[in-house]
Amino acid sequence: MSPTEITEETKTKKDTKEKAVTKTETTGKDVKREISVEIPAAEVARETELQIQRYQKSARLPGFRAGHVPASIIRQRFGDGLKNDVIEALVPKYFRREAEKQGLIPVSQPRVTDLHIHDGEPLTFKASFEVLPEIQIEGYKDLRADKPEITVTDEEIEQALTNVREQRATYTTVEGRALAVGDFAQASMDGKPKDSQDVAEAKANPVHMDDVLIEIGGKNTVPEFTGHLTGASAGDERTFDVSYPEDISDKRLAGKTFIYTVKINGIKQKNLPELNDDFAKELGEFTSLDQVRKQIRENMEAEKRHTTEHAAKDKLVAELVKRNDFEVPESLVDRQIDLRLERGLRALAAQGMKMEDLKKMDLPRLRAGQREQAIQDVKSSLLLERIADLEKIEVSHEDVNREVEALAKQSKQTSEAVRARLTEDGGLDRIRMRIRSEKTLDFLYHQSA
Contact in structure between 445 and 309 (CB atoms under 8 Å): yes
Dist. CA 254–CA 247, nearest whole Å: 6
**Neighbouring residues of 287: CB distance < 8 A, sequence distance ≥ 6:** 277, 280, 281
Count CA within 13 A, CB hemisphere, residue 106. 18
pLDDT in tens, 44-96: 999 988 988 888 777 667 766 666 677 777 777 777 888 999 999 999 999 99
- 197 pLDDT above the threshold of 80: no
Rounded to the nearest integer, the mean pLDDT of the chain is 86
CA dist 63 and 83 (Å) reads 25
d(CA 28, CA 12): 30
Residue 11 pLDDT > 60: no
What does the radius of gyration of the chain's CA atoms come to, in whole angstroms? 34
**Those residues with Cβ within 8 angstroms of residue 41's Cβ, 6 or more apart along the chain or in another chain:** 120, 121, 122
Is the model's pLDDT at 6 over the cut of 80?
no
Dump pLDDT digits (tens) for 211-226: 999 999 999 999 999 9
**9: pLDDT strictly greater than 60:** no
* pLDDT given for residue 28 in this prediction: 52
Task: Give the model's pLDDT for residue 7.
Answer: 33
Asked whether residue 10 carries a pLDDT value surpassing 50, the answer given is no
Query: How do residues 111-170 score in pLDDT, each as one tens digit?
Result: 999 999 998 999 999 999 999 998 888 889 999 988 889 999 999 999 999 999 999 999
Residue 201 has what pLDDT? 55
pLDDT greater at residue 377 or residue 12: 377
* Residue that wins the pLDDT comparison between 57 and 409: 409
pLDDT score, position 25: 53
pTM comes to 0.70
293: left (phi over 0), alpha (psi -120 to 50) or beta: alpha
Instruction: For each of the domains in the chain, give its residue range(s) and CATH number, in order of start.
Output: 4-130 (3.30.70.1050), 170-271 (3.10.50.40), 391-449 (no CATH)
- What is the mean pLDDT of the segment spanning 193-215? 73
Taking only the tens place, the pLDDT of each residue in 270-284 is 999 999 999 999 998
With a pLDDT cut of 70, the percent of the chain lying above it is 88
Which tops the pLDDT comparison, 344 or 18?
A: 344
> Where does the pLDDT of residue 202 fall: very low under 50, low under 70, confident under 90, or very high at 90 and above?
low
Question: How buried is 381 (Cβ within 10 angstroms: 0-12 exposed, 13-18 middle, 19+ buried)?
Answer: middle
In whole angstroms, what is the distance from residue 20 CA to residue 9 CA?
9
Question: Phi, psi (5° rounding) for residue 24?
Answer: -125, 145
What pLDDT, in 10s, does the model give residues 214-265? 999 999 999 999 999 999 999 999 999 999 998 887 777 888 899 999 999 9
Please state the rounded mean pLDDT for residues 303-319. Answer: 94
pLDDT of residue 271: 94
3-state secondary structure the chain: CCCEEEEEEECCCCCHHHCCEEEEEEECCCCEEEEEEEECHHHHHHHHHHHHHHHHHHCCCCCCCCCCCCHHHHHHHCHHHHHHHHHHHHHHHHHHHHHHHCCCCECCCCEEEEEECCCCCCEEEEEEEEECCCCCCCCHHHCCCCCCCCCCCHHHHHHHHHHHHHHCCEEEEECCCCCCCCCEEEEEEEEEECCHHHHHHHHHCCEEEEEEEEECCCCCCCHHHHHHHCCCCCCCEEEEEEECCCCCCCCCCCCCEEEEEEEEEEEEEEECCCCCHHHHHHCCCCCCHHHHHHHHHHHHHHHHHHHHHHHHHHHHHHHHHHHCCCCCCHHHHHHHHHHHHHHHHHHHHHCCCCHHHHHCCCHHHHHHHHHHHHHHHHHHHHHHHHHHHHCCCCCCHHHHHHHHHHHHHHHCCCHHHHHHHHHHHCHHHHHHHHHHHHHHHHHHHHHCC
For residue 377, which of 426, 429, 320, 435 has the smallest C-alpha distance? 320
pLDDT at 22: 45
In the prediction, which pLDDT does 447 show? 87
State the pLDDT confidence band at 303, using cuts at 50, 70 and 90.
Answer: very high
